[in-house]
Amino acid sequence: MASMLEAVDQRTKLVGENRLELLMFRMNGMQMFAINVFKVQEVVQLPKLNLMPHRHPSVAGVTHFRNRTIPVVDLSESIGMRPINRDEPCNLIVTEYNNSVQGFMVGEVDRIINMNWNEILPPPDGTGRQHYLTAITRVKERIVEIIDVEKVLAEISPYDSSISPDVIDEDLLTLAKGLEVLIVDDSSVGLAQCRSTLDYLGITVHIATDGKRALEKLKKWSADGEVVPEKLLMMITDAEMPEMDGYRLTREVREDPKLKDLYIVLHTSLSGSFNKAMVQKVGCDDFLSKFQPDKLATLIQERIRSVVYRD
C-alpha cells in the first residue's frame, strides 16, 4: 500500500490541468467508492482500536498513529450503510481535512486512478446516498461514488459558523451592504458555512456548484456589459469540484482579459501547506482553509478596506 501512495508526490503536476487522482476502495460489498488523493496521508491495515466513552455512533474508536491519537470513523456506517465487517480484511485511510487528522475505516483498497475533472459529474437526483456524495464517475463502465467527507465530518463534529464579536469591525458593516461575492463549492456544508459568514456581513451572495458553472456565470455577466472585477468584491472557490476544479477555474479567469483582475480566494479543506504553494502557480490572490469563520470574516473585511479606501 505504501508503494501505491508514492505517486501522491507527483500530484502538484496536476494542478491547473483540471486533473485529479482518486483513491478507490470498497466498503462491505462490490460498490466502489473514492476520495481525492490530495487528502490522503497514508493507507495501512486497520490497527487495534480503543473505544471512547460517549462517542458518536459512526466513530469506531481511536488509535495511536505516528505519535498522535486520531479518531477512526466507520465510513460505511457514517453514510447510512451497514458497519464495516471487521472479520474481513479492513484498511485505515488516514486523511487531513482543515488541519485535522482522522482515519476512515474501509474494506478493500483498490488503487489510485488519474482522471480529468470533466469526467467527474454531480450525483444524480434520487440516489439513496446522494446527500453523502459530491460526485460520481465511471471506471471501466463501473460507477464510482465520490464521498462528501466534509459532510461526514460535520455530522460527527458540527462546525461552529459563528464569528467572534471582536473580529467584526462595526464601521465596515454599513460599507459591506450591497457588495457582492461569488461562492463556488460543490459541498453543501462548505457553501452553508461560507454563506453564513457573508450573510452576517450583509454581503449579497451568488452561488455556483462547480467551476464550469462559475465560469459560465462570470462570462455571462461580462457579456451583459458588467465589469466583473468591479461587480464582485471577490470570488471564493473550492479546489475540488466536478467538471472543473478551482485551480482550472482560476487559470481560465486569469486568461480572460475582461475577468483577469477578479480577486480570487482559494477556500478549501485540502492541505494548507500544499495549497499555499499552489496559490502562486495558478494565480489566486489568497488561500484560506475551510470552516474558520473568524479568518474568513477577517479576510473579507481586509478586502473591503482595500476596495473602499483605495482612492
Segment 253-274 shows an average pLDDT of: 85
Secondary structure element (H or E) that encloses residue 206, with its range: strand 204-208
Which band of pLDDT confidence, cut at 50, 70 and 90, is reported for residue 311? Answer: low
| 265-287 b/e (C-beta count within 10 Å ≥ 16 → b) | bbbbbbbeebbeebbeebbbebb
Average pLDDT value for residue range 300-305: 92
φ, ψ of residue 283 to 5 degrees: the values are 95, 20
Average pLDDT in the 16-20 region?
Answer: 71
CA 257 centroid distance within chain: 28
As a whole number, mean pLDDT of residues 234-241 equals: 92
Q: According to the model, what pLDDT value does residue 9 have? A: 43
The predicted model gives 126-136 an average pLDDT of 73
Contact between 223 and 253 (Cβ < 8 Å)? no
Q: What is the per-residue DSSP string for 119-135?
A: G-BPPPTT-TTGGGEEE
What integer is the mean pLDDT of 73-96?
92
> Region 254-265: what's the mean pLDDT?
97
* Rounded distance between C-alpha atoms, residue 188 and residue 23, angstroms: 22
User: Cα-Cα-Cα-Cα dihedral of 114, 120, 126, 132, to 10°?
Assistant: 60
**Confidence tier at 43 by pLDDT (50, 70, 90):** very high
Percent of the chain with pLDDT over 70: 88
Supply the pLDDT for residue 6: 46
pLDDT band, very low/low/confident/very high, at 276 (cuts 50, 70, 90): low
User: Mean pLDDT lowest for which of 122-131, 132-141, 226-235, 246-255?
Assistant: 122-131
- Asked if 28 and 85 touch (Cβ cutoff 8 Å), the reply is yes
Output the pLDDT for position 19.
78
Tell me the average pLDDT across 252-256.
95
With beta carbons less than 8 A apart as the criterion, state whether 80 and 68 touch.
Answer: no
Higher per-residue confidence, 15 vs 246 = 246
pLDDT in the model for residue 89: 85
Q: Residue 130's pLDDT is what?
A: 63
Cell of residue 61, nine digits: 474508536
pLDDT above 50: residue 112: yes
CA 6 to chain centre: 23
- CA 198 to chain CA centroid, nearest Å: 18
The Cα 288–Cα 267 span in angstroms is 5
Strand partners for 286? 265
Task: Name the H helices within 136-271.
Answer: 149-156, 170-176, 188-200, 211-223, 228-231, 246-254
> If pLDDT is split at 50, 70 and 90, which confidence band does 271 have?
low
Report whether pLDDT(144) > 70: yes
